[in-house]
Amino acid sequence: MRLTLLDLRRAATERKIAMLTCYDASFAAVLDRAGIDTLLIGDSLGMVVQGHDSTLPVTVEDVAYHTRAVARGSQRAFIVADMPFGSYQVGPQQAFENAVRLLQAGAQMVKLEGGDEMAPTIAFMVERGIPVCAHVGLTPQHVNRFGGYRIQGRGQASARIRAAARSVVQAGAEMLVIEAVPETLARAIAAESKALTIGIGASVACSGQVLVLHDMLGVATDKRPRFVKNFLAEAGSVEAAARAYLEQVQSGAFPGAEHVYPDSN
């Protein structure tokens, strides 16, 4: 029986939530057997599946296609689908219509990036029955504005990201991905957030953790970010690697100090 958002909330009172990206039925079945709580059909598929140098070329139909595959391949995991670049920024009605396509493909929640500017869109969707996961910190769809994939939230930017997190949660986001920010900032956001917080290069204090599947398996070809750990190297199989990831997330062993960012260089 597939997990619900209520199940995740209950679980988070006792243990950490483990999320991995997933893009096809075969891996979905393996990760399901391993006990991974949440499968994210990330727009990272543009890089690790399609071979682009960013997530920007990914379309709604791309995400819907992979969501259908993951939904068919899994039976238990909660399914979250990314809203790709350009699919929600025009306004709430556009976002709602594209979110409906992803829910109809099998997602139980959609994820979008941004802070205060996205609060009205999040509220609009939540009021109409769309569960939303927000995403603050390093938001990959803003790569051209950031000038690359860089840590966010140091110095004066810390207050801005903390305010952005408050804004999207107040608007109704029930899950919040926090990516590549200083550990102390992520810890502060997690402490005050009513939403489930999912860290990636953030803090072990978050409600759970997420990694890109290919990074977790050590098969990504690009330079690996600080927050990545290869779980396949010692596990011997994909399922064993996923179980090791699950166990280390649940126990708080991952992320370690070497996987999070200090307040200064």
User: Which residue in the block uniquely carries the two structure tokens 């398996």?
Assistant: 217
Phi, psi of 55 (to 5 degrees): -85, -5
Pair 220, 227: CB distance under 8 Å: no
Neighbours of 186 (CB within 10 A): 30
Instruction: Summarize pLDDT for 24-70 with one digit per residue, the tens.
Output: 999 999 999 999 999 999 999 999 999 999 999 999 999 999 999 99
> Which region, left, alpha or beta, applies to residue 51 given φ > 0 means left and ψ of -120 to 50 means alpha?
left
Question: Is CATH 3.20.20.60 correct for 5-134+208-259?
Answer: yes
Pair 213, 20: CB distance under 8 Å: yes
Pair 226, 235: CB distance under 8 Å: no
Q: Helices (DSSP H) in the chain: which residue ranges?
A: 5-12, 25-34, 45-48, 60-73, 92-104, 119-127, 143-146, 157-170, 183-192, 213-216, 232-235, 238-251
Amino acid 222: pLDDT: 67
In a 3-state reduction of DSSP, which class is residue 38? Answer: strand
Active-site choice (113, 117, 127, 179) = 179
Residue 221 banded pLDDT, cuts 50, 70, 90 = low
Query: Please, what is the average pLDDT of the chain?
Result: 95
What residue ranges do the domains of the chain occupy?
Answer: 5-134+208-259
Residue 107 banded pLDDT, cuts 50, 70, 90 = very high
Amino acid 224: pLDDT: 83
Q: What is the mean pLDDT of residues 160-184?
A: 97
Residue 257 banded pLDDT, cuts 50, 70, 90 = very high
Residue 144 banded pLDDT, cuts 50, 70, 90 = confident
Q: Is there a catalytic annotation at residue 192?
A: no
